Chains A and B, each alone.
Chain A
């Protein structure tokens, strides 16, 4: 992936040990975060998020569908991530597929909760329109445009921003007989803003040597032994967790990483919320 000399590797590791990383950040500092909403006019909601040189786009498409028979009172959300070959030469051809599916699965786990949809960051019950008959299906697509580490956090932030940008048309249901599929009318004027306060942020801690760092660049990620991604919501509850990287971790280290991630999440969520609000304000200014 990243070709680094022995000296460079040493420099990165040494910097992390001394709490001064190669780009001048401390261990628990993010790169500048940039959020732009409504970047794709065709989608119901979309956003572009940059973490330094990492750039991702997320879009939300809403369609009316039929709820699955096992969970009649819930809507459906599908998350899919694509890695563009422009992001990294290794993604060319089928090279990005493995990473794409890994990211998709990790996001589903962190945002959608268990099979039953309980404990999901995105409230699936709010997508229900008529129980057992009609619900909203949200298709969330993520696209990695430029890859410089910490893709999962960036994608989660982009999904949150795009959902915050999403407006679902108001649905008028004409009452039909109980057995038939009811007829629906989509309003052109009235839209419902999607509620995003429950959506968790993903905080990935990358372990390099003895220390963990936040928002690692791909150079730093190449030196990691393992990484733990924790998704935390505003209430400080953990909504999902995945581990990457081959090396084993001592359980006490994991506990420590979870508590650090939880501690940091508050500031991340606040920062992200203010960035999203700023982006939305900017968008409204433009006629």
Chain B
């Protein structure tokens, strides 16, 4: 088809048939007994699957899967900074997040999240001991294989695991979790469908052992008690996620040697 590709016609993905006048059933209700579409409680995270050293050609790498959110992160370096860069007595961190074309339900939507690269940078830079690799750059590249909601927190957690795998000196691992505000309820680790309906979102990335927050973003309208509630919820989830990440790093060591 290569020859015909120049004249590629406009395409669209077929949408689901919905009878006119009938709306899709709402994803949430204010009902206290409401159960999330994947059967979780409001304050229950998706099961996390983490694996390190997935990319052989990188200095360090990690793969994370939270439900349908699948992310792979490679770390290269510390290596020579770009020629144009000026001398710096601390190391540089360079982050890039990209999406596969099939990551989102309709093709090529991933470019909506251009700010993720700088968000990832800000979440990680506080945790890296940049003084330990002067004049050089550490590159953190993330690829979202499939976007299933809460993409950024998964990218951040996965990237910190990849940095640890690469042997980059860190103050602590960075774990990130987000909550969505849906009606009166706070739901943790939202999936894409829930994110579409959210009235507000709250994301925290922190270093659990040091009890320090490296990045915090809030959108939507929040009252102070709700912020506190969300923060407590996230910090608790972050420390749990931190433990899972730690055990994932230890896994290859505890496995019997062949």
Contact = CB atoms under 8 A, between A and B. Distances in A.
B216 A254 contact: yes
Nearest to B223: A237
Contacts of A255: 228, 231
A258 B202 CA distance: 14
Interface string B188-221: 0000000111111100001100111111111111
Contact of A238 (B122, B126, B212, B223): B223
A228 B198 contact: no
A258 B129 CA distance: 28
Given A248-B206, A251-B231, A115 B213 contact: no
Contacts of B122: 243-244, 246
Contacts of B218: 109, 238, 240-242
B227 interface: yes
B212 A246 contact: no
Given A114-B201, A115-B196, A262-B224, A250 B213 contact: yes
Contact of A114 (B126, B127, B214, B219): B219
Contacts of B198: 114-116, 118
A259 interface: yes
B125 interface: yes
A62 B91 CA distance: 45
Given A98-B118, A248-B206, A118 B217 contact: no
Interface in A235-279: 237-244, 246-251, 254-255, 258-259, 262
Interface residues of B, number: 36
Interface of A is mostly: mixed
A246 B123 CA distance: 8
Given A114-B199, A262-B224, A119 B219 contact: yes
Given A114-B199, A116-B196, A248 B220 contact: no
A2 to B, nearest CB: 16
Interface residues of A, number: 36
B181 to A, nearest CB: 8
Contacts of A249: 212-213, 216
Contacts of B212: 247-250
A121 B162 CA distance: 38
A64 interface: no
A33 interface: no
A242 B214 CA distance: 11
B211 A250 contact: yes
B235 interface: yes
Interface in A14-57: none
A249 B222 CA distance: 21
Interface in B146-203: 171, 195-201
Given A237-B223, A249-B212, A119 B199 contact: yes
A85 interface: no
B209 to A, nearest CB: 11
B30 interface: no
B221 A233 contact: yes
A131 interface: no
- B122, B198, B200, B221 pick with most chain A CB within 10 angstroms: B221
Interface of B: 114-115, 118, 122, 125-127, 171, 195-201, 206-207, 210-224, 227-228, 231, 235
Interface of A: 70, 98, 101-102, 105, 109, 112-116, 118-120, 226, 228, 233, 237-244, 246-251, 254-255, 258-259, 262
Given A116-B199, A240-B219, A247-B126, 17 more contacts: A101-B118, A113-B221, A114-B200, A114-B201, A116-B198, A120-B220, A237-B221, A237-B222, A238-B223, A239-B220, A240-B220, A246-B125, A248-B127, A249-B216, A250-B212, A251-B211, A251-B231
6 contacts: A101-B115, A112-B219, A113-B200, A241-B218, A254-B213, A254-B216
Q: Give the 7 A-B CB pairs with smallest separation, nearest first.
A: A248-B212, A119-B220, A119-B221, A241-B218, A118-B199, A246-B126, A105-B115
